[in-house]
Each structure stands twice: as structure tokens, then as C-alpha cells.
Amino acid sequence: MLVNFCRFRKCQIRQLMMTCFVLSAVMIYWESFGNNLSNHVKSYSLRHLLSPFDFISANLTISRGEARKFSDYNYLINHERKCTNRDVLLLLFVKSSPENFERRQAIRSTWGNETYIERTLGVTVRVVFALGLHPQPSQRKKLQQELLREDEKYNDLIQQNFLDTFHNLTIKLLLQLGWTHAYCPHARFLMSADDDIFIHLPNLIRYLREVDRSGVKDFWVGKVHRGAPPIRKKDSKYYVSEDMYPWSVYPDYTPGAGYVVSKDVASRVYQASLTLNASLYIDDVFMGICANAMGISPQEHAFFSGEGRAPYHLCIYNQMMTSHGHVKDFHELWRQATDPEVQRVSSGLLGRLYCTVAKVRLLCVPHFLNTYPCKAAFL
């Protein structure tokens, strides 16, 4: 009897260990192939050994006078009355560059069409493009004239006189925060996005209306990078020196490709930016530092893609918020994503079942595509 009992226990333990082993193998497989987050996971654990990030904002705090120098640029093109006397649900800043005329056109005629949104969804959205000056002096004059002509027609460019370069993106963030504070503080949500991102604005508006109705505060949503480490490889675009950022992890942040904040967050992040050293040129990380200084942390939404691209499928269009890395296929994607067929295919019990299976195949089968997480298949 006793012997049997021991055997039984041993067997159970062995089974338990086997299960644990298999589970961890599966998890490691997921991490490295499904998401490739190994770096993040490493520093995520580190992050929890460290205290919260108060010391970062404390360390980067400078006087208001010093901080003002980071955003002290004049407007070359402005529209002070864009939001006046309007109940604006969403102010959407698209970070563009002077030469990206085609991208702006594609946005204006697809998801960025304010008239379309107003007519079909009955809400006011303002889409504006944030720009600096072309870095090449030889091209600047010609491009500047083209920009003025473009703006005369569309009235949607906001430009300041800093050089429009990758390493000046934080200045562009300060432009967006400053402009919102000065000219559109009543917009209920603020979004910042790249000009090669596809935003399913009808889905986003439906979602934000719900959020707005529930009266939330402290709202900051996107894809979330948790415990990401600074890149120390000198040849990387995202290289950050120890001088600029001496710590081993960034506070949680949402990639600049596309994120949304509520107006109270926009206002507090702006306030934080008035006393922080903005020399860190990774704009979305700097946004994370400002938010962190105010005790605000981001929440993840599975259908914000960050740097990833959504698979092309009807069942995805029904829920997608953003998809990154589009330029050529804006029109086609917009047409397909707003097709009434999308609703039809994915509704009803059978439709939902069909879409769950389709999404599992698209999102959960490990491949090397950077897209929505597997859990999005079950939402």
C-alpha cells in the first residue's frame, strides 16, 4: 500500500515536471518566434527589481527657462481657429515631412477625410499635419512654396521653423503638445501618428465614443512597449548614448506610429514637458517619460499594431485600429476595410466562429511577421 502510494506520488511529480517543461518550452518558443520579445522580457524582469521610474524625471528636470529652449520655434504655417467653436472628439496629428505630399494626399482622401467622418459617424475630427523645415537648404525654398500652395487648398498644415529630421522628432512632439494646449484644449482625445500608418478611423471613433461615454481619465492607449532597453549599438537609428539616457530601461511607452490620449493626459503631459530636458530624441520614449512623471501609464490595445502591419483579411478589418508601414495600398485598404461586406461576414454566431478561426490562422500560427498578438484572435 505504502509502496504504491509513493509510486503514485512520484508518478504525479514526474507528470507535473513534464508538464512544466513542455509549457516552458512552448512559452520560450512563443516568445522568440511569435513575438520576439526576448530583449523586452529580460529587461522586464530587471524593471521589477528597480523601483518605479521617479528618479528618471527627477534627474531630467530642468528650469522652465531651459526647457522652453527645446520648443521655442515660430510657426511658419498655422491654423489657430481649426478647433474653435467645435465639439471636437479627436484631434489627430500626423507627423509628416515637407516632401511627403503624396502620403498626405492619400490620407486626406481615405481615413483622414474629415467630411466623410462627419457625414457617416456624426462626429467632428480634426486631422492636421505636423511639419518642420526641409533639412536640405537647396530644396527648401521650392518645397516651402509648394507647401504654402498645398495649405491654401487644404488648410491642414502646422509648421514650425525647426529642421524636419529624425533626430528632431521630440521637437515635433513638443509642437503637437503645445499646439493642442494653445488651440485645441477641448478636443476630447489627441492622437499622434506617422504618415505611413493606416488608421481605421470608423473603428477608432466607435471605440473612443464608448470610452468617452464612460468618462474615463488617465486614458492612454496603443501598443505598449514594456521595459524596453535603450539601444546602445552605434549604427542603429535608435542609438541613444549613456550620456543622454544612463539607465538600462525606458518607462513603458507606446510607439509613435500611433497612440491616443484623453485630453486630461494631453494636458498633463504638456505640463510635464515644460520642465524636462527634451534632448532625448526618441519622441515616443520622451512622451513616456513625461507621462511617467505625471504617474500615467499606457494600456495595451491588441488592435493597435505599433510598428507591425495588419494581415489583409475581412475578419481583421472589423476590429483593426492601426496598421503600420503602408504607402502604396492606402486606397485599396480603405476601400476593403470600410466595405459593408466586412460587417456581414463577421456578424452572427457563424460569422464570429468563422472569423475566430480565420484570425487564429493569421495571428497565432508562429511566423516572422510583426503583427497583432495572438490574443487578438479571441477578442
- As a whole number of angstroms, the distance between CA 363 and CA 343 comes to 20
Nearest residue (CB) to ligand NAG, 248 versus 271: 248
122 sits near ligand NAG (criterion: CB under 6 A): no
236 sits near ligand NAG (criterion: CB under 6 A): no
Interface residue with ligand NAG, options 12, 36, 84, 145 (CB under 6 A): 36
Binding residues for ligand NAG, rule CB under 6 A, total 23
Nearest approach, Cβ of 290 to ligand NAG (angstroms)?
15
Interface residue with ligand NAG, options 59, 145, 299, 347 (CB under 6 A): 59
64 sits near ligand NAG (criterion: CB under 6 A): no
62 sits near ligand NAG (criterion: CB under 6 A): yes
Neighbour-count burial of 3, counting CB atoms closer than 10 A to its CB (0-12 exposed, 13-18 middle, 19+ buried): exposed
277 sits near ligand NAG (criterion: CB under 6 A): yes
Nearest residue (CB) to ligand NAG, 62 versus 121: 62
Interface residue with ligand NAG, options 168, 318, 338, 346 (CB under 6 A): 168
248 sits near ligand NAG (criterion: CB under 6 A): no
209 sits near ligand NAG (criterion: CB under 6 A): no
What binding mask, one character per residue, do residues 126-165 give for ligand NAG by CB under 6 A, x or -?
Answer: ------------------------------------xx-x
Interface residue with ligand NAG, options 8, 19, 46, 66 (CB under 6 A): 66
Of 335, 269, 118, 115, nearest in space to 205 by CA: 118
Nearest residue (CB) to ligand NAG, 163 versus 360: 163
Nearest approach, Cβ of 44 to ligand NAG (angstroms)?
15
115 sits near ligand NAG (criterion: CB under 6 A): yes
Binding site for ligand NAG (CB under 6 A): 32-33, 36, 59, 62, 66, 108-109, 113, 115-116, 119, 162-163, 165, 167-168, 243-244, 246, 277, 279, 368
